[in-house]
Amino acid sequence: MNLNIVPLKFSNDPLLRKLTDKLSLYFDEIKIFYTPVNIEPAYNSARRQYHSTKILESVIKSNPGESGLYLILTELDLFVPVLTHVFGEAQLKGRFSIVSVCRLYEEFYTAESNPKLVLNRSFKEALHEIGHNLGLYHCRNWECIMHSSNNVEEIDTKGLFYCKECSDILKSSGIKHPAAT
């Protein structure tokens, strides 16, 4: 299985590089894929945020022709109408997902920068959305990457892996090494 990472309004190259490294354990090949997308229709001026579903739709409509999954990475603050914010969104059993690092930066909450923490949070949220693409639903296990997180504390509580139950479901998905190592 291949993964195409699509940076969209994403300027943190060291984070992109390290995240690609960590995700490469799970995929045969990872490509960084740039596609021109008009994000303005996704902008909500009252909320000053971007509607994640609309960004996903724009990227899908741009009809990128690569094989495998697409993970859009952005620094834009994302929302869906019923929630104040989302860390990401994915098509269930589809090929497209999006993760925002906006609220994964420690600077969003405190004055301190912590690149390693941001990398781990980004990795967890990326694998979480990829899990939805591969057919996984939310998991009740608090340590599982498929546990749903409403805030960064809950992301930090999660481990870096799919739990046994979730990795068993992933065995036939084409992703590599889904089990904890």
| Residues at the contact surface with Zn ion, assessed by CB under 5 A | 139, 141, 144, 146, 163, 166
Which residues are identified as catalytic? 129
How buried is residue 133: exposed, middle or buried, by Cβ count under 10 Å (0-12/13-18/19+)?
Answer: buried
Residue (6 or 127) nearer to Zn ion, CB = 127
Minimum CB separation from Zn ion for residue 161, in Å? 9
- Phi/psi at 98 (5° precision): -140, 140
Residue (73 or 166) nearer to Zn ion, CB = 166
Strands 78-79 and 49-51: parallel
Residue (127 or 139) nearer to Zn ion, CB = 139
Minimum CB separation from Zn ion for residue 113, in Å? 27
Tokens of 80: 């869906």
Q: Running DSSP on this structure, what letter comes out for residue 86?
A: B
Minimum CB separation from Zn ion for residue 111, in Å? 30
- Phi/psi at 48 (5° precision): 55, 40
